[in-house]
């Protein structure tokens, strides 16, 4: 289950960087390692392909130093998804870090039903 949580974080992280500038797999692996994620190419590339198929990323193949490199850039759909994810992340982090718990949930439920 923890792996599924982290895969969601990784997808958002990829979108974040691809929205700022074109990115490629090996650079993303190093960036994610910097944040404590250990991804192999066999894990990362299917994620990139999934995000591309879903319309969140676009790919451009370029020759760099005599080798093909696939650069990924966020699409407008990817940027919109990232903006929505940022709002949700802010809300979640505020709640989790501030330690809001069952009392806050009950309070909101009472406000909505009352």
Strand blocks (E) in 1-114: 23-24, 57-64, 67-74
3-state secondary structure at position 71? strand
Q: How far apart are CA 110 and CA 94, in angstroms?
A: 21
Name residues of the chain where pLDDT drops below 50.
Answer: none
- In DSSP terms, 57 is beta-bridged to 74
Residue whose token pair is 């806050």 = 104
Helical (H) or strand (E) element with 106: helix 102-113
Predicted model pTM? 0.80
User: pLDDT value at position 82?
Assistant: 97
Could you give the domains of the chain?
A: 2-113 (1.10.10.10)
């Amino acid at each position: 289950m923890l792996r599924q949580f982290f895969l969601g974080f990784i997808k958002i992280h990829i979108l974040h960087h691809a929205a700022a500038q074109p990115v490629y797999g090996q650079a993303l692996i190093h960036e994610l390692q910097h944040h404590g994620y250990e991804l192999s190419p066999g894990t990362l590339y299917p994620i990139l392909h999934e995000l591309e198929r879903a319309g969140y990323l676009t790919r451009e193949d370029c020759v760099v130093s005599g080798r093909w490199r696939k650069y990924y850039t966020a699409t407008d759909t990817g940027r919109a998804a990232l903006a929505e994810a940022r709002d949700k992340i802010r809300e979640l982090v505020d709640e989790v870090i501030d330690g809001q718990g069952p009392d806050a949930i009950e309070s909101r439920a009472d406000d909505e039903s009352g």
